[in-house]
Amino acid sequence: MNALYPPSSFIDKVIAAIRTVIGSAPAVLHEPAFAGNEWLYLKECLDSTFVSSVGKFVDRFEADLAAFTGARHAIAVVNGTAALHIALMLAGVKRGDEVLIPALTFVATANAVSYCGATPHFVDSEERTFGVDAQKLRDYLDRCTEQRAGFCINRSTGRVIRALVPMHTFGHPAAIDGIMAVARDFNIALLEDAAESLGSYYHGRHTGTFGLMGTISFNGNKTITTGGGGAILTDDAELARHARHLTTTAKLPHAWEYRHDEIGYNYRMPNINAALGCAQLEQLPAILAAKQVLYERYQTAFASVSGVRLMKAPEHCQSNYWLQTLLLDTKYVDQRDILLQSTNGAGIMTRPAWVLMHELMPFRECPRMDLAGAELLVPRLINIPSSSGLI
């Protein structure tokens, strides 16, 4: 125990439960697993000299990713934030619009909205999934918006609410049926932030494939990694074509000339990153299986620890269990920071949920609904070591 704090039987029990699963060695929160063809594919990429945005591994990675998720098209880009930025643009989000996003999300979701010159409009989350609370959002939009010429208008600001971006928190699928219904009924484009949920399914369908587009991240701490990287998923062939064009500096195809027909972005995934991704995708089923086993072992370990529960996949869903998450009972909220200090001091990397978006300096003046659900959740959430290699 950390000497700064008095002994606590609750904290002792939580640490003991974690140690039961991970052993006595120090453990980070999440690290990648390189146990397949990574070195082989990287060497092949280096030997070819095609290490940037042209090369066979980019095409292969996109095809393999589309096949795995069931999306008709996958467009590989440099990171998940870039993927969401382009998806928002292609959905018609522009300067002066508003975009509904959960207050309980990583800052990249809000940043991508801001890149478009639009304003994040923060919505609440539910305890069952940690995702957008669809019923509460519907009630809010009924009260606070109106329809004009087929657009959803925020009565308070007069701005168009152009898109809704639910996020599948820590890999757990949000209640997407209800969220889709809200988007449809209020004439709002639905884009999924599936950055954390590769390998997660809602009623048998992969996350990121329900909306107009979905976006994924392959950062070093995700379920699989390309180092840095992301992707846009869509079933729309024209959106896919335009996404590839925009993310390749909007260059018109030509053997030697450099002509660009609109403002583009240097966002395409480099071939060397895609080579790593191809090897990682080959291992994804085994990684997901290991993370399921890790969840089951944690579930057993915490079954006898009162005051805390381990987050499980919502009903009719399959979660990738990207980050295993503890939810403290409300009576132990005052123990969260002590628990974070004690676990990290003991060599067990843990972390709290993100600071809610409306509490961050750049977004304090953004519109928001009542966020009581998210505000009650955040002080109770702790992520614990979740690497597939712990199995």
pLDDT tens string 299-337: 999 999 999 999 999 999 999 999 999 999 999 999 999
Q: Averaged over 97-103, what is the pLDDT? A: 99
Report the topology of domain 9-33+283-354+383-390.
Aspartate Aminotransferase, domain 1 (3.90.1150)
Task: Note the Cα 136 to chain centre separation in Å.
Answer: 22
Which architecture does CATH list for 38-282?
A: 3-Layer(aba) Sandwich (3.40)
pLDDT tens string 72-99: 999 999 999 999 999 999 999 999 999 9
pLDDT tens string 277-305: 999 999 999 999 999 999 999 999 999 99
CA–CA gap between residue 323 and residue 29 (Å, rounded)? 8
pLDDT computed for residue 53 by the predictor? 79
> Which residues are within 8 A (CB) of 30 and not within 5 positions of it... i.e. 6 or more apart?
221, 222, 322, 323, 385, 386, 387
> Which residues are within 8 A (CB) of 276 and not within 5 positions of it... i.e. 6 or more apart?
38, 41, 42, 225, 226, 227
Closest C-alpha among 312, 313, 296, 285 to residue 223: 285
Percentage with pLDDT > 70 across the chain: 98
DSSP notation for 100-115: EEESSS-HHHHHHHHH
Q: Is the pTM of this model over 0.75?
A: yes
Q: Which residue ranges make up each domain of the chain?
A: 9-33+283-354+383-390, 38-282
pLDDT tens string 8-46: 799 999 999 999 999 999 999 999 999 999 999 999 999
Phi, psi of 66 (to 5 degrees): -60, -45
- Structure-block tokens of residue 222: 């995700």
- Structure-block tokens of residue 158: 């007069």
CA–CA gap between residue 212 and residue 189 (Å, rounded)? 7
pLDDT computed for residue 2 by the predictor? 40
Closest C-alpha among 236, 196, 240, 200 to residue 216: 196
